Amino acid sequence: MYRCKYKTRKALLPLVQLIECGARELQATSKAGMTSTPPGTPGHRSGSNRKVTSPIPIVRSTGALSPLSLGSFSFSSSRPFTPSPMPSPPSSPPAPSSPSGLIQAAKDALMDAVSKRDSKTSYLAIDEDMRDMCYYYTHLGTDERSEFLMYMATALSTDHHVVEELIQQKPKVGDNDGANGAQLLRWEDRLRQSLQPPHHWVFSQISRLSGGVKFLVDMRQDLLATLYTKASDPTASVVLKTLDTVLRELLSLWFTVGLLEVQRITWESPCNILQKISEYEAVHPVRNWTDLKRRVGLYRRCFTFTHSCMPKEPLVVLHIFLTNEISNSMAKILQSSRASSTEKDNMKKDHEDPAYINTAIFYSITSTQKGLQGIELGNYLIKRVVHELKAEFPNMTQFSSLSPIPGYVKWLNGMMAQAQRGEVTIFMKSEEEELMQCLEVKTPSSIYDRLKKLFTTSGWVEETELVNALEAPLMRLCAYYLVVEKRRGYALDGVANFHLKNGAVLWRINWQADQSHRGLANSCGIMVNYRYFLDECESNSRTYLESQEIILSDSVKFLVNTALSKVVKKGSESSSVPLPHPRSPTPPLITVTPDSKI
């Protein structure tokens, strides 16, 4: 490491002295404030007489700031750049596992606010109680949060006795009686208010606070986790579901599409937004800063949905690859070593060539807030982004996704377990013989044990003979999984259901499209193109939602028909399941070649 020159050290000395002075002042302030609640926090209130069973925890640094040493500075312009791992961006801390002792304080603050609901109390006082409750809640442990949510769901539920009394007081409906009609309307208004649970008012009051909407989104995340843990308790599940329904409906109103803003993310975007984009990427994790710069650079687009109440929190993140064809592999998109040299040469330009771009590939869409689960946002973002891209590239004609199949291997393991028990046949005789030779096993039943172990690793993709032997059956079974397997009449696969509801066509199934560890573990590397024909999206969506009919291309229909004739379930009629008539806007797309392996 090179030391600074004398002149440089002398110039930096005042800066170092200023930093050391600030560090000493920070330590003194920390020691002085350890015995009191910090002013300006949601829990601080001058003159407050609420009793707290234990002191409010305060987050403080564990060690003192170490003074800077001028000898630690080094300057070198010739040092090679090496991509550093992507640092984790700051996020809201999870609920502590140990109890905080503040559960009663949170309940008291909540009930203090509710008691002032119908009184002539200033809203400022109610907001102050709500701030206290929010502050206490954020410091509760996991079990304490569940207890608090259960308390809110029961203590602030609808008063059924009041509702019953109002029903008994219903005025009679008379003909041509204006006074009676007005009395009936007033009664209906009172009944409507009595049916609305008090926690609806609590949520509305919290949303008025600064940061209140984000607090409610995080609270619903805790509520969904509590619902999962209380699933075996019917009574608790009912009241918690009522609480969740009220909160979800309010969030749906607050996060309506008209209140959301589409933002394009570039390398010049704020650093904290770029960090969150990297942290929230759930489909194809960002490896380092260089990888992130590539994903928001040339021939790429990244868009987010943001809300005015959460301006620094991307709600939905959509990554797009701009090219001249519908991609069948992630290698080119992520610029890995598996991409061909020709493809890399096309992407090395220092500017985009609009003549080269006529296709947009949606290769990753992520909903970042678990508390917004069940609120449709991603489909609206895709529609808004399509208009943005059409305005930027008038010649763009093709829109498609390159989507993962996250539940395929799990379903496949279940099918292989049934095949071992003789309940289903998934491989043809010739395929079984070839697999027995590749896997070096002696019985067909042993094939399934070996495959289950192999699918937990990624080494099997390096064995060419095994990969070729598995291609036909796994592609066939994948088509069966996407089209035939249903949940409540709709596609079992969540990603497929999302795109089909948006009006996309199940266009193409791609072999060895994602050879990352995650892609192999989830779907044996298989990915799907869901293609969007803008003129037909609305009719396709209506067809799927109303009649559960999946629109297929000819290539996918061929795979499904093959699967229906090969997959035989004993005691079932699976092979005779009628396949919906495909609507392929163009002739068959796929030509099977040794290179494409599709």
Could you give the residue numbers annotated as active site?
403, 499
Distance in angstroms (rounded) separating the CA atoms of residues 101 and 1: 50
Q: Which residues of 344-378 are buried (b: 16+ CB within 10 A; e: fewer)?
A: eeebeeeebeeeebebbbbbbbbbbbebbeebebb
User: 10 Å Cβ neighbour count for 6?
Assistant: 8
Nearest to 517 by CA among 568, 596, 456: 456
Q: Are strands 398-401 and 486-487 parallel, antiparallel or unpaired?
A: unpaired
Nearest to 264 by CA among 314, 301, 221: 301
Q: Are strands 505-510 and 359-367 parallel, antiparallel or unpaired?
A: unpaired
Find tokens 């020159």 and name the residue: 5
Nearest to 147 by CA among 207, 204, 230: 230
Cβ atoms of 345 and 222 closer than 8 Å: no
Cβ atoms of 386 and 380 closer than 8 Å: no
Nearest to 338 by CA among 94, 525, 135, 183: 525
Q: Residue 439, SS3?
A: helix
Angle among Cα 471, 473, 476 to the nearest 5 degrees reads 100
Q: Is 573 exposed, middle or buried (0-12, 13-18, 19+ CB in 10 A)?
A: exposed
Q: Which residues of 524-554 are buried (b: 16+ CB within 10 A; e: fewer)?
A: bbbbbbbbbbeebbeebbebbeeeebbbbbe
Nearest to 375 by CA among 487, 213, 527, 536: 213
Cβ atoms of 513 and 526 closer than 8 Å: yes
Phi/psi-derived region of residue 211, left when phi > 0, alpha when psi is between -120 and 50, beta in every other case: left
H or E element in which residue 539 lies: helix 537-547
Name 114's Cβ contacts closer than 8 Å, sequence gap at least 6.
156, 198, 201, 202
Whole-angstrom CA distances from 381 to 70, 257, 299 are 50, 9, 19
DSSP string, 444-459: HHHHHHHHHHHTTSSG
Q: Which one-letter DSSP state was computed for residue 355?
A: G
| Helix ranges (DSSP H) in 119-177 | 123-138, 142-155, 160-168
Cβ atoms of 290 and 83 closer than 8 Å: yes
H or E element in which residue 367 lies: strand 359-367
Find tokens 């013989």 and name the residue: 433
H or E element in which residue 365 lies: strand 359-367
Cβ atoms of 371 and 496 closer than 8 Å: no
